[in-house]
Amino acid sequence: MNGPRKFSDRESALPPLDTELELTFRDPAGELRLAKGCALRRIRAAAEEETRAFLESPLRKTLERSGDLISSRIAEPGSHSCISSGEFWLEHPRIDPISYPWEWTTAQWRAAAELTLRVASQAIDAGWTLKDATPLNILFSGPHPILVDVLSFERRDPHSSVWLAYGQFVRTFLLPLLAAKYLSWPLQATLFARDGYEPRQIYEALPRWRRMNPKLLDVVTLATVFERPGQRRAASKKTPSTTDPALARHVLQKRIARLGRQIRHAAGERGHSQWSRYEQTAGHYQAADVEEKQQFVKSALTRCQPRHVLDIGANTGTYSLLAADAGANVVALDSDSAALEQLWRTALDRNKPVTALVADIARPTPAAGWRNREHLSLLDRLNGRFDLVLMLAVVHHLILRHQLPLTHVADLCASLTQRWLLLEWVPPSDPMFQEWLRGRDDLYGHLTEHDLTRAFAPHFAVVDRAQLGNGRVLLLFDRIPV
């Protein structure tokens, strides 16, 4: 059985980070380090036997073949500086860039949740169980979600009908989606909730009449009502079990199926956003201008032959997909989740290596977690890792909405790209520039293309230029060697 093509192969990964990073340290079973070209996972002695059993199981082979689980191989002692003799380490391919749940669209959350449930269901049938079920164990390889934690598997008690990760799945997958649907809590806010939301948090925020909503009744209302002090649970630590293994499996599979329905409901269709229909409604663009712009981008792609492209302000991804069609691995950023969701769906349907991240380049995702070292900031993950950066009609946003000087924008671009920058300059005469100008003509109304190129001159030289019929200018910059 061949799964969807993944983009975790080493040759398709972004250039490695220079430093070796220790990323996980909470799991008593092991730790994870990012090294050049691979991820290394140390398995502690207490978990070694279980891990070896899983690695030899048919389940692991099935999951790796379908692309649902990251591939693993036992690292040779001495193959990396951090491996001492007698230690048990696994080596995984790197998936770049790392994306965090607070940078996913709703549809990506759903895909990650469904992957987790699918793996959990297969594990149950194979006599295993998934003991962790959190979106932090999922990465996106291009548009495909993939489970990256091989330490999440343990052998299942065939008589037990309890899924130990149920509570974690509800807290970290289902409740954030329900909170987004019923309370408009943005999924980006999960940055501050490593272990998701507690049922009580949602319960107290809901209007009283909504607490009886059948879709919220069990995981929010009843879960809050049944809450008891921790000591009472400690006294009765024994988990319920049934003597009939067939019944236990039936109960577990029913639970997985119900969670699947709850996720589908919680991550149901959302409406359009301001930007998700931008291209259809962009009255300042005539068909000829669009055609000319696309030709310029295509010819730039042919000239630059980029392997790694960053598309800032990707919107629904017209130009990200052009870059992917030209053979590049693309990272597409946009702060508009609905627009980016369209891009992610298209990339998934067409199996294109595009990683979609909901992020605002003017306020990039910060580092998070313990000592700010558990989760890397957006710029730490992106800096210096692209051959070509696309900034099409973005600079006027940075100037007018974020009051960023052109020299600072140039510095940012120079830190992101190793070579090329393709930029669309929107002049003050443009209706979109005027819309954001809001009477600040004295401050920004005088800006010209010359001001732009002068600000970028310390880092870049213009190597190609085209002016569209609507007055906008496309500029291809080449990085001046330092």
Partner 1 sequence: MSRVKLLQISSVALILLGAVLVFERPAYAYADPGTGLLAVQAAGSALVATGWYLRRKIYSLFRSVDAPRAESDEQSVAADGEDSPNP
Does 449 sit near partner 1 (CB under 8 A)? no
* CB count in 10 Å sphere of residue 258: 12
Interacting positions 358-377 with partner 1 (CB under 8 A): none
> Taking a C-beta distance cutoff of 8 angstroms, is the pair 49, 29 a contact?
no
Q: Which helix (H) or strand (E) holds 460?
A: strand 460-467
DSSP-derived secondary structure for 72-99: -EEPPTTSSTTPPTT-EEEEEE--SS--
- Which one, 37 or 240, has the nearer CB to partner 1? 240
Does 440 sit near partner 1 (CB under 8 A)? no
What is the smallest separation between the CB atom of 244 and partner 1, expressed in angstroms?
A: 9
Q: Binding marks (x or -) toward partner 1, 165..184, rule CB under 8 A?
A: -xx--xx-------------
Interacting positions 124-163 with partner 1 (CB under 8 A): 161-163
Query: Using the rule CB under 8 A, which residue among 23, 55, 126, 222 binds partner 1?
Result: 222
**Helices 175-183 and 245-266: angle between axes, nearest 10 degrees:** 30
What is the smallest separation between the CB atom of 186 and partner 1, expressed in angstroms?
A: 22
CA-based torsion, 275, 278, 284, 289: positive or negative:
positive
CA-based torsion, 362, 368, 371, 374: positive or negative:
negative
- Which one, 199 or 313, has the nearer CB to partner 1? 199
- Which one, 52 or 200, has the nearer CB to partner 1? 200
What is the smallest separation between the CB atom of 229 and partner 1, expressed in angstroms?
A: 4
What is the smallest separation between the CB atom of 257 and partner 1, expressed in angstroms?
A: 8
Query: Using the rule CB under 8 A, which residue among 223, 301, 328, 391 binds partner 1?
Result: 223
What is the smallest separation between the CB atom of 209 and partner 1, expressed in angstroms?
A: 16
What is the smallest separation between the CB atom of 42 and partner 1, expressed in angstroms?
A: 28
Interacting positions 240-259 with partner 1 (CB under 8 A): 240, 242, 246-247, 250-251, 253-255, 257-258
What is the smallest separation between the CB atom of 62 and partner 1, expressed in angstroms?
A: 20
State both tokens at 4. 């969807």
In whole angstroms, give the CA distance from residue 365 to residue 360: 8
What is the smallest separation between the CB atom of 136 and partner 1, expressed in angstroms?
A: 18
- Which one, 235 or 287, has the nearer CB to partner 1? 235
Interacting positions 55-114 with partner 1 (CB under 8 A): none
> Taking a C-beta distance cutoff of 8 angstroms, is the pair 419, 478 a contact?
yes
State both tokens at 205. 């925020």
Query: Using the rule CB under 8 A, which residue among 40, 146, 219, 455 binds partner 1?
Result: 219
CA angle (389 as vertex; 386, 394 as ends), nearest 5: 150
Q: Binding marks (x or -) toward partner 1, 198..217, rule CB under 8 A?
A: xxx-------------xx-x
In whole angstroms, give the CA distance from residue 325 to residue 321: 6
Nearest to 95 by CA among 39, 149, 152: 39
In whole angstroms, give the CA distance from residue 193 to residue 347: 29
Q: Binding marks (x or -) toward partner 1, 387..406, rule CB under 8 A?
A: --------------------
Does 218 sit near partner 1 (CB under 8 A)? yes
> Taking a C-beta distance cutoff of 8 angstroms, is the pair 348, 374 a contact?
no
Distances (CA, A) of 78 to 42, 88, 90: 13, 11, 13
Q: Which residues of 294-319 are buried (b: 16+ CB within 10 A; e: fewer)?
A: eebbeebbeebebebbbbbbbbbbbb
What is the smallest separation between the CB atom of 264 and partner 1, expressed in angstroms?
A: 14
- Which one, 101 or 199, has the nearer CB to partner 1? 199
What is the smallest separation between the CB atom of 250 and partner 1, expressed in angstroms?
A: 6
Positions that interact with partner 1 (CB under 8 A) = 161-163, 166-167, 170-171, 198-200, 214-215, 217-219, 222-230, 232-233, 240, 242, 246-247, 250-251, 253-255, 257-258
